[in-house]
Amino acid sequence: MDGQTASARRLAGPDSFNHLTRQVLDAAMKVHSHFGAGLLERIYRDALATELRRRGHRVDVEVPVQVWYEGEPLGEALRMDLLVEDEVVV
């Protein structure tokens, strides 16, 4: 990766975001080519996180999402599989 933070990329505009999404897609294709189909989702998730980290990206796994109903918190009912650079949800 080029060392930019998520906020710096946002200021840089959509080309920077598109570069990040292309990196994620390329890494996902590499993982899929390596394993093929049929494994448990967590194996692909963990392999993708590993591949993205090898490319220099910050990756958070199983990120909790707070759910609200009419201003009331309902708890962390959802989880994002991967959050890359605080920008791309996988």
Chain centroid to CA 81: 7
Mean pLDDT of the chain: 88
Residue 59 CB burial class (10 angstroms; 0-12, 13-18, ≥19): buried
> Domain boundaries in the chain?
6-89
Tens digits of residue pLDDT in 49-81? 999 999 999 999 999 999 999 999 998 778 999
Q: Is the pLDDT of residue 8 over 70?
A: no
Instruction: Determine the pLDDT at residue 63.
Output: 96
Q: pLDDT band for position 10 (50/70/90)?
A: low
Q: Is the pLDDT of residue 39 over 80?
A: yes
- pTM for this predicted structure: 0.77
Instruction: Determine the pLDDT at residue 15.
Output: 72
Q: At what angle do helices 14-35 and 41-54 cross, to 10 degrees?
A: 130
Residue 20: closest CA among 65, 64, 59: 59
